Amino acid sequence: MTKRKSQKAEHRNRQQPEPRIADNRTGLGDRYYLSALAAAWILFYHRILLGQASFWEDLVRQEFPHRLFVRESLLNLRFPHWNPFVFGGMPFFSALHTGVMYPFNLIMSFIPAGHETYWYFLQVMIILHLLFAGICMYYFCRSRHISRGSSFIGALGYMLCGFFITQVIHSLMLYIIAWLPLIMMLLEQALRRRRFTLAIAGGLILGLTIFAGHPQITFYEFLFLGAFTIYVWFDKQDRQWRDFAIPLVLFTIAVGLSLVQILPTVELSEQSGRIGWTFLEASEGSLSFRQLLTFLVPKIFGAWTGARTGSAARIPPFWLKDSPNSGYYTYWETCFYTGIAVLILGFLYLRLIKKSRFAQFFALWCGLSLAVALGNHFFVYRLLFDFVPGFGTFRIPARILFTWNLLLPVAAATTLDKINDPTLSKDYRRPILIAAAACTTFGLLIGLGLMQTFWPELTNSRLASFAAKQGWLLSLNAGLVLLVFGLYYGNRLPSRFLRPAVAGILALDLLVFGWGQHMINDQGAPQHFRENHQIARSLKDESQDEQFRANMRQFILEPDVVINRKGGLMILKKNQGAIDRVELIEGYNPLQLYRRLPPLKSDNFQALLDLLNVKYYVDPGFRPGNPAQQNPLRLNPTYMPRARFFYRATVLESDSAVKKRMLEGSFDHRRELLLSEKPSITLPPPGDDASPPSNHVEILSYEPNRIEIEAQTQENGLLWLSEIWYPAWKAYINGESTKIHRADYSFRAIEIPAGKHRVEFVYRSKYFRLGALLSLLTLTAAVGGLVWCKMKSPKSSPPHSNSHKHN
């Protein structure tokens, strides 16, 4: 019986034409609104487009070196598996944030340009994603039958939202979220119209965004899309359980396509020092209750723009210290401003909560995501951290609020259409005028110094003065909203001018809020790395004759403390090794191998340098400003070669035992190796250390993914490499596979029988090979599915449509 009813409902749906999308009375087409969106984008980022300013922070010290390293690797027909130029060598592709296979990064990998031109193209590519985000949001709103004018306002509010503007220096997040409205549109239309082709397309796009390389944002995105799927299913009039096969196809394709990246990342995570966080560490970047005010007044607690000159440089640094490890960067990690007009109109949409399932989804998701964003300030995040996998893996829980920056513009655009509808307009008259008047009044109170009564930090006159100015700005923005809607409801403003007026207020609000954010007046990344280029060039030239590393950042040595901390004195910039091809034992990377440094205490600092093949290092005792010390760089005369033979080994029961022995300092790092597994060959009996068995080691070829060595020894021995141990590296002696031992906790060693041999170390990850195979199969199945659906669908019949009309 149920099946017959379902078939009848489906038959009725087929007879109905596609619902007509509401339009503005002006009759302007999509191209006019998209042109206006592009004009706002050009205005906002004209200094970047004209080469008059540059971005800073992670784009300079991480993204730029990464893109150059990938370009150099691929142009030399070498896949960027391993980066030997930072942290003594570490996986590159496996570190998800390198974004090697994200399509736009691949395009950047084949641009034949000098560093200055390449840097310009990189910045343009990043801000282009903001324009893509606006366009995707525009069409998502249109797919929900929102008028063109209101869709433009939703797109503008999304394109210039606080998350995008303040996180533009963290391109990985932008690359993912920019495409989210498009994925939501395909997912929703696939479910409502039961179109597997749309689900496959959505899965392919979602899978490609995973390659962008930000696991936390991807994790939150999947949670959000899962909740959105449930909403769409409940909102369908003819819903059936089998409809869940459609989103299942989308998510399966997305995950399957990205397995070539995900599986090597899993391999790396097992070797990373960032396996998990304590609750206090994971709570860094929590949104405090006081910060809820920033949805109205985004800079009331100060900001950080990166600017060194001009009005932006006079903004007080973000000063609120309500969360663990707060700093100036907390500003952009917890900024989700949407503009006063979008905020008011968006939350007014909740008036429909009894009638609209989207309003119910909007309210429920906003409440749950806010509970997560509050982090250690609310009990929910503690429960999720303890009992739900994934939440203990990341810091900065407030990042989940990027979903507010997406939902609020959609809700605001829908509300604006209802206000512009003569049959519904009166229902919103009092609420919107009251809300705008309340915000205006609140802004006036802040401007008059209300917050100084509650917050002792504002006894500082500079902070108080700046907070007051932000209050006046809120009063102005909300006052303009009040004025426009007051004129509209007073019949002084024709309905055809309502949307342009709201768009103008929103554009002014967001332009003032984000103007100059992260745009600084210098030449950017190329100039940044050019400052000490001569030192880097000298090290590179010297390394042509022998393999060695350099320590270019000062260690902080404390009595009886494990060597790990580094100070602020740096001879070369972070990640400069990848720019100038100099092998360093430091870098800048959120994922670091926990074996990157041998476990030694400060009194064994010399042994650490020796084992890491460090020829030059920054003197830990150097103090800037001391006239007796002019040059902090020192030569290490006892550094060990990159590869050598050992004939003595002490075998302990585990890696932990090896680590303990090294921390005790009771071993001779130049004469014996500490192993956690017994070698299968018999080493020669202990003899005179002054005359070890005759041997010869020569590095024939050294490439990031392959090392070739000629090794000759009179007796059985252990060939030790000052290379960080990692499971994806494989060793071959005369073409035959052999085991790589972990030696001295951090390094590689293999068993070499007496004689002359050719040895190869090759990066060959089984996780990568398996992931590549599964990704290829997924892509083949997806393309095949598209072809099959296209061939199966009748050419003459109209597209299937659900009869549902969006709220």
| Residue 448, SS3 per DSSP | coil
Q: Is the pLDDT of residue 15 over 80?
A: no
Contact 203, 252 (CB under 8 A): yes
Say what the pLDDT of residue 305 is. 85
- Tens digits of per-residue pLDDT, 247-262? 999 999 999 999 999 9
314: confidence class by pLDDT, cuts 50, 70, 90: confident
Domain ranges of the chain: 93-275, 276-525, 526-635, 643-764
Q: Is the pLDDT of residue 595 over 90?
A: yes
Say what the pLDDT of residue 568 is. 81
Q: Measured in Å, how far apart are the chain's first and last C-alpha atoms?
A: 30
794: confidence class by pLDDT, cuts 50, 70, 90: low
- For β-strands 717-724 and 643-646, DSSP reports them as antiparallel
Least confident of 229-243, 290-304, 788-802: 788-802
**189 DSSP 8-state letter:** H
Say what the pLDDT of residue 276 is. 63
pLDDT > 90 in the chain, percent: 81
Least confident of 5-19, 190-204, 768-782: 5-19
**How far, in Å, CA of 461 to CA of 459, rounded?**
6
| Residue 731, SS3 per DSSP | strand
Least confident of 434-443, 465-474, 516-525: 516-525
Least confident of 182-196, 241-255, 683-697: 683-697
- Tens digits of per-residue pLDDT, 425-462? 899 999 999 999 999 999 999 999 988 888 888 889 99
pLDDT (average), residues 397-401: 96
pLDDT (average), residues 612-637: 89
- C-alpha distance from residue 369 to each of 221, 361, 365 (Å): 12, 12, 6
Topology, domain 643-764: Immunoglobulin-like (2.60.40)
Say what the pLDDT of residue 12 is. 42
- Tens digits of per-residue pLDDT, 224-234? 999 999 999 99
pLDDT (average), residues 515-523: 86
Interior angle at CA 508, CA 503 and CA 514, nearest 5: 120
Say what the pLDDT of residue 27 is. 52
Sign of torsion over alpha carbons 411, 417, 420, 426 = negative
| Residue 656, SS3 per DSSP | helix
Least confident of 26-35, 425-434, 738-747: 26-35
623: confidence class by pLDDT, cuts 50, 70, 90: confident
689: confidence class by pLDDT, cuts 50, 70, 90: low
Beta strands in 22-86 (DSSP E): 82-83
Sign of torsion over alpha carbons 773, 774, 778, 779 = negative
Residue 415 in tokens: 């509300």
pLDDT (average), residues 130-140: 98
- Measured in whole angstroms, the distance separating CA 158 from the mean position of its chain's CA atoms is 19
pLDDT (average), residues 698-707: 97
- Tens digits of per-residue pLDDT, 630-679? 789 999 999 999 999 999 999 999 999 999 999 998 889 999 999 999 99
Q: Is the pLDDT of residue 411 over 50?
A: yes
- Tens digits of per-residue pLDDT, 156-189? 999 999 999 999 999 999 999 999 999 999 999 9
**pTM score:** 0.92
Say what the pLDDT of residue 573 is. 93
- 3-state SS track over 531-578: CCHHHHHHHHHHCCCCCCEEECEEECCCCCCECCCEEEEECCCCCHHH
Q: What is the mean pLDDT of the chain?
A: 92
Contact 435, 348 (CB under 8 A): yes
Q: Return the exposure string of 238-257: e unless at least 16 CB atoms fall within 10 Å of the residue's CB, then b.
A: bbeeebeebbebbbbbbbbb
- Measured in whole angstroms, the distance separating CA 605 from the mean position of its chain's CA atoms is 35
- For β-strands 566-570 and 82-83, DSSP reports them as unpaired
Q: Is the pLDDT of residue 801 over 80?
A: no
**Who wins on pLDDT, 128 or 282?**
128
How does DSSP assign 97-149, residue by residue?
GG-TTSHHHHHHTT----HHHHHHHHHHHHHHHHHHHHHHHHHHHHHTT--HH
pLDDT > 70 in the chain, percent: 93
